[in-house]
Amino acid sequence: MPIGPGGGAMLRFLAASVSARAVVEIGTGAGVSGLWLLRGMAPDGVLTTIDIEAEHQRAAKEAFAEARIPPNRARLITGRALDVLPRLTDGAYDLVFGDAAKGEYPDYLAAALRLLRPGGLVVFDNALWHDRVPDTSARDPETVAVRELLKTVRDDDRLVPVLSGAGDGLLAAVVRD
């Protein structure tokens, strides 16, 4: 399910707010969130987007071409995020956006904290997970993982978080200097 217009507008805003030049997207999908991010990034910014499905990468590449995004602005990497993220450069990114396997969200956060520069943003989609997160009776693995992520971000003194109700919920946090 691609990010909706509300969540997309928030991504564009967040990318613009940090004048993002280097962004990592975990979960390319059909390229919808990537387009929102690219529209908020600096004109020479590069989006590195990771997805386990080659089919998703092809769809995103087509979407970027249709939107007239120059090919050098998007680096598409096919692979499992937790295998690819360790190969990216520490402290080199302005924003990391996670929208892939919910059960891996805590691991994505750990990787994001390594990848982000001070003042950078980590953002996660589906932070309300179809309104299941606030429902204490919901105990499926995805909901539990998202709840764990929210608590971890809230309790981490290195982060200044906010939870937005845009779309299915966006969790964003600034990495303190």
Q: Chunked in runs of 10, what are the mean pLDDT values of the chain (177 residues)?
A: 91 98 97 98 98 97 97 97 98 98 96 98 94 92 94 97 92 96
User: What is the structure's pLDDT at 177?
Assistant: 85
Domains defined for the chain, CATH in brackets: 5-175 (3.40.50.150)
Nearest to 174 by CA among 162, 160, 164: 160
CB of 124 closer than 8 Å to CB of 152: no
- pTM of the prediction? 0.96
